[in-house]
Amino acid sequence: MASHIVGYPRMGPKRELKFALESFWDKKSSAEDLQKVAADLRSSIWKQMSDAGIKYIPSNTFSYYDQVLDATSMLGAVPPRYGWNGGEIGFDTYFSMARGNASVPAMEMTKWFDTNYHFIVPELGPDVNFSYASHKAVDEYKEAKALGVNTVPVLIGPVSYLLLSKPAKGVEKTFSLLSLLPKILPIYKEVISELKAAGASWIQFDEPTLVLDLDSHKLQAFTAAYDDLESTLSGLNVLIETYFADLTAEAYKTLIGLKGVTAYGLDLVRGAQTLDLVKSNFPKGKYLFAGVVDGRNIWANDLAASFSTLKELEAVVGKENLVVSTSCSLLHTAVDLVNETKLDDEIKSWLAFAAQKVVEVNALAKALAGQKDEAFFSANAAAQASRKSSPRVTNEAVQKAAAALKGSDHRRATNVSARLDAQQKKLNLPILPTTTIGSFPQTLELRRVRREFKANKISEDDYIKAIKEEIKKVVDLQEELDIDVLVHGEPERNDMVEYFGEQLSGFAFTVNGWVQSYGSRCVKPPIIYGDVSRPKPMTVFWSSTAQSMTARPMKGMLTGPVTILNWSFVRNDQPRFETCYQIALAIKDEVEDLEKAGINVIQIDEAALREGLPLRKSEHAFYLKWAVHSFRITNCGVQDTTQIHTHMCYSNFNDIIHSIIDMDADVITIENSRSDEKLLSVFREGVKYGAGIGPGVYDIHSPRIPSTEEIADRINKMLAVLETNILWVNPDCGLKTRKYAEVKPALNNMVAAAKLLRTQLASAK
């Protein structure tokens, strides 16, 4: 019985790639140094899977930034602004597309389906001259082969690549991206031919867009693409991999009808209903790569349940045609539980990171082949039973409080217009008020202080003194820049979700449970294993300290319940909305304590609200109902004069704008500039927004410093569709990842642009 892994984490167990990338970007190391780190990581990953007994090991799932950008490079689809003149795409062009450079901005970045991973959105149009410009897929296959590992090269499928793209600037929004299929398929044919010549016997095309709600025209594109590729694919075994949701009956019919395809990879964790489609109709002689091991969460697999599912499938597809697989790439999980030295043994026994999931996949494959490891299965069953019965999982008081939420929609008593009037009387802000999103640069010295405090190398008094000094520096800088509503810069926080999770009950934390979010950015998601409550105030001390340093309004900074949920590894033994309501009650306690402490502006970030939107439209309404309700719970008890902000970033918000309005926040700051001001189109189309709104005026994920004129131009575009009295001026997102040398001039230009517009508006009266 065979086993397969869809993909594997790239950063390394100790974030080796992250540090190599940042060293290269800072010009502290060479391209050769970066390539050496990458090659060592790839080698260790392939060896690990080979040693574990995995038969179908992927290659070309490693990336220096993201796999969609790799496909863009392979196809030579470089936007003209990057000045690429053909030939093999090198690091300069590649990273300019991802991060921008001194003269041109980066390409748009957005969420990968409903995960916290991001990808760089291809910009395409009728005039793009596609060419085979990156041989990475073939090079990595050969690299693995030289190490004695015959891999399955993985490519983003041609149809998914186009469906994940957008029309380039200047191209009509109605342009059919699928019309480019005949132009990109010749490049795919070149890559396939080279892989065949190099000795590949299998190839994997990731076509995850098959799980979306696709019309017949889009489904027909899959049929057309693989019809065209059929002769080139002859002699290869072809796997089409889908993940993240169920397939519709129409999509499943399209999938199993594709020509030249040998095998189908299906997510049977998030796509459980797909099982019924397989059982009712599976093509004879084809392989099923059954994704029964969860690639998106860190709970140990219920091996007995998975084994039972696989036995059912074996009866349908045949023993020799069933391959045990992960539900999706393991990119979305932490790397290796072995590196966790501080998790207690009970919780640790409930978990499986990527390395452990590889072992689970192989154990299930061996069990199907009649070589069941009874001791391994027995230990797994004991861990499953321990988790179900552990008293630390359940808190009856929390469950009772969450149950009592039903029956109310938890809206503030006064409408937003009246609240804004009351807040303006108290805050006395100018038109086009300026603010930032929360975090300021995290310097090496600041990270050292936090690290040493956690390691008990400095006292709590010394730690508090150092953090207070950092807050004072950030407050003074904002006053010097003449920003209107200040933040304390979050120097006490390494990560916005981790910080709150550490102070809430029901959470556990890892030492090295890092997961890639984009590029070199890694996050360490908390693990929600039990009922959630807030034992004591979490941010009141720091917010009050910061407010005491200035007469200007100081924002209290909180992470919202939906974002804490979506950016954590969430318990899978109760519905997600129940956990979210518990978190909302904990944040509500914090909001009310901040208000009592004299904080008049409180930001409750919901950066990940859109990210959690189910992939199928039929499930949108239910999710949005409980997600928006959870946000309203957090602030339903505050006074009219307390201004509630929220923040969202790096997703497509236009299709949920009415739910955003229904959140009933006083002010929303929202990413706008990196996505080519796509957000503004919804207001051009007539959506009325009566609360305060701050569409981002510059992209903080690029080192580029925008000019005053550029920012003023952006604000003018906003004023064309939004009322002057509701518009705020702010960056796209927090400033944590930037350097002060970039932040100071960028914010200076932002404030100057706001003042310039105020003067122009005043003189126009």
Q: Is the pLDDT of residue 273 over 80?
A: yes
- What confidence tier does 513 reach under pLDDT thresholds 50, 70, 90? very high
Q: Which domain covers residue 373, as residue numbers?
A: 2-389
Give the pair of three-digit tokens for residue 405: 């939420």
Indicate whether 62 belongs to any domain: yes
β-pairing verdict for 521-523 and 58-59: unpaired
Residues 303 and 424 in one domain: no
Indicate whether 400 belongs to any domain: no
Residues 183 and 318 in one domain: yes
Nearest to 163 by CA among 142, 181, 146: 181
Judging by beta carbons within 10 Å of its beta carbon (0-12, 13-18, 19+), is residue 707 exposed, middle or buried?
middle
**Within 13 Å and on the Cβ side, how many CA atoms surround 158?**
26
Indicate whether 404 belongs to any domain: no
Q: Is the pLDDT of residue 701 over 90?
A: no
Average pLDDT value for residue range 746-762:
97
Judging by beta carbons within 10 Å of its beta carbon (0-12, 13-18, 19+), is residue 502 exposed, middle or buried?
middle
Residues 377 and 444 in one domain: no
Per-residue pLDDT, 688: 80
411 vs 270: CA distance, rounded Å: 33
* 11, amino acid identity: M
Indicate whether 406 belongs to any domain: no
Give the pair of three-digit tokens for residue 565: 């949920």
Residues 512 and 438 in one domain: yes
Residues 360 and 427 in one domain: no
Mean pLDDT of the chain: 94
611 vs 565: CA distance, rounded Å: 11
Give the pair of three-digit tokens for residue 741: 């040398």
Range in 439-443, 506-510, 648-652 with the lowest mean pLDDT? 648-652
Q: Rounded to whole angstroms, what are the CA distances from 117 to 30, 149, 165, 414, 745?
A: 27, 28, 16, 38, 30
Q: Is the pLDDT of residue 361 over 80?
A: yes
Tally Cβ neighbours within 10 Å of residue 85.
6
Per-residue pLDDT, 680: 74
Global confidence as pTM: 0.91
Q: What is the chain's Cα-based Rg?
A: 26
Q: Is the pLDDT of residue 177 over 70?
A: yes
Residue stretches of the annotated binding site for L-methionine? 437-439, 490, 605
Residues 489 and 555 in one domain: yes
Per-residue pLDDT, 650: 57
Residues 288 and 330 in one domain: yes
588 vs 450: CA distance, rounded Å: 27
Last residue of a domain, one of 373, 389, 405: 389
701 catalytic, yes or no?
yes
Per-residue pLDDT, 674: 63
Residues 376 and 444 in one domain: no
List all residues 6 or more positions away from 22 whose beta carbon is below 8 Å from its beta carbon.
520
Per-residue pLDDT, 409: 83
Summarised one tens digit per residue, pLDDT across range 381-418 is: 999 999 999 999 999 999 999 999 987 889 999 999 99
Check 4, 332, 645, 701 and give the catalytic one.
Answer: 701
Average pLDDT value for residue range 315-341:
96
Residues of the chain with pLDDT > 90, as a percent, come to 88
Give me the count of residues in the chain: 765
Per-residue pLDDT, 682: 75
Last residue of a domain, one of 354, 389, 424: 389
Residues of the chain with pLDDT > 70, as a percent, come to 98
Residues 432 and 299 in one domain: no
Indicate whether 399 belongs to any domain: no
Average pLDDT value for residue range 160-186:
96
Residues 365 and 450 in one domain: no
Residues 373 and 502 in one domain: no
Summarised one tens digit per residue, pLDDT across range 63-99 is: 999 999 999 999 999 999 999 999 999 999 999 999 9
Indicate whether 407 belongs to any domain: no
Residue stretches of the annotated binding site? 18, 116, 437-439, 490, 521-522, 567, 605, 647, 649, 658, 662, 671, 733
Residues 423 and 385 in one domain: no
Q: Is the pLDDT of residue 52 over 70?
A: yes
Residue stretches of the annotated binding site for 5-methyltetrahydropteroyltri-L-glutamate? 18, 116, 521-522, 567
Average pLDDT value for residue range 662-671:
92
What is the domain count for the chain?
Answer: 2
CB of 5 within 8 A of CB of 55? no
566 vs 594: CA distance, rounded Å: 24
- What confidence tier does 764 reach under pLDDT thresholds 50, 70, 90? confident
H-helix or E-strand containing 511? Answer: none
Per-position DSSP letters for 202-262, written without gaps between them: EEEEE-GGGGS---HHHHHHHHHHHHHHHHHHTTSEEEEE--SSPPPHHHHHHHHT-TT--
Helix 136-146 and helix 67-74, axial crossing angle in degrees, nearest 10: 110
Indicate whether 394 belongs to any domain: no
Indicate whether 238 belongs to any domain: yes
Summarised one tens digit per residue, pLDDT across range 186-229 is: 999 999 999 999 999 999 999 999 999 999 999 999 999 999 99
33 vs 24: CA distance, rounded Å: 8
Range in 376-385, 473-482, 494-503, 609-618 with the lowest mean pLDDT? 494-503
Residue stretches of the annotated binding site for Zn(2+)? 647, 649, 658, 662, 671, 733
CATH number of the domain bearing residue 257? 3.20.20.210
